[in-house]
Amino acid sequence: MEEKRIFIFTGYYGSGKTEVATNFALKIRKKNKKVAIADMDVVNPYFRVREKREMLNDNDIKVIAPPKRIDNVDLPVLTAQLNGILDQDNYKVVLDLGGDDLGTTPLGSIKTKLKIEKYELSVVVNINRPFTEDEKGINKMIRMVENVGGLKVDSLISNTHLKEETSKEMIIRGAEIVKEVANNRELTFKMITIPNFLNSEKFISSLRKKFNTKVMELGLIYKTPWSFS
């Protein structure tokens, strides 16, 4: 299904990159027996892969994260377990990485484990967030990720949303901006995401035709502590 073996997702707070990474892991698990997801986000206190450990394990996805006893401590996930998984060619590995200079720092510590033909580094973009509302902001983030992490960004993902208030028009506008940046920087426009409540064959087909890229439906897995619905 995917030629690459290691998929790295990064994005600013509010981009939804953890949602994208988790949904992506669930998707590739359908065609791959061994899938692992690593929680490398040392910044975000709310949306963390480790919080969905049980659900992911139930789907036969291995979760690499700090032990439960220190779940609330912001530590880079740079364990022997992660290094071991990265060395196993039979595993597809998803890395959920923080999106600012602090969050991207752990990437530099594992880059010697990554071979260029085996990994893909994707920036998840939500144009409704303050620092990636336009081409200038998105380009600035790409440069930051590459400078701090020490790896080249390969692709962009359009994940423009406002949670349950997301509209089709919003998704289209976000995709237009992200595709323009991808084209200008000669990056792959990897995919457009849509929340499952907007899923329809007609809409998905129109997005694929207009933007010539994949469309991934997202189950809304993560909620903030103040969400009650």
42 located within any domain: yes
Q: Which residue has the higher pLDDT, 95 or 223?
A: 95
Number of domain units in the chain: 1
Answer whether residue 8 shows pLDDT above 90.
yes
Mean per-residue pLDDT for 102-124? 76
Q: What is the pLDDT of residues 40-79, one digit of tens each?
A: 876 555 556 777 888 999 999 999 876 665 544 444 445 5
32 located within any domain: yes
pLDDT band at 226 (very low <50, low <70, confident <90, very high): very low
Model confidence, pTM? 0.87
229 located within any domain: no
223 located within any domain: no
pLDDT band at 99 (very low <50, low <70, confident <90, very high): low
DSSP string of 23-35, one letter each residue: HHHHHHHTT-S-E
Answer whether residue 114 shows pLDDT above 70.
yes
Least confident segment among 1-10, 36-45, 123-132, 155-164: 36-45
41 located within any domain: yes
Mean per-residue pLDDT for 211-219? 95
Q: Which residue has the higher pLDDT, 208 or 50?
A: 208
Distance CA 222, CA 195 (A): 12
57 located within any domain: yes
Q: In what order do the strands lie in the sheet with 155-158?
A: 61-64, 35-40, 92-97, 6-10, 119-125, 155-158, 188-195, 214-218
Q: What is the pLDDT of residues 164-175, one digit of tens each?
A: 899 999 999 999
pLDDT at 200: 92
3-state secondary structure 53-122: HHHHHHCCEEEECCCHHHCCCCCCCCCHHHHHHHCCCCCEEEEEECCCHHHHHHHHHHHHHCCCCCEEEE
224 located within any domain: no
Mean per-residue pLDDT for 125-152? 92
What CATH number is attached to the domain comprising 173? 3.40.50.300
227 located within any domain: no
Answer whether residue 207 shows pLDDT above 60.
yes
Which structural domain, as residue segments, surrounds residue 177? 6-218
Residue 198 token pair: 């907007």
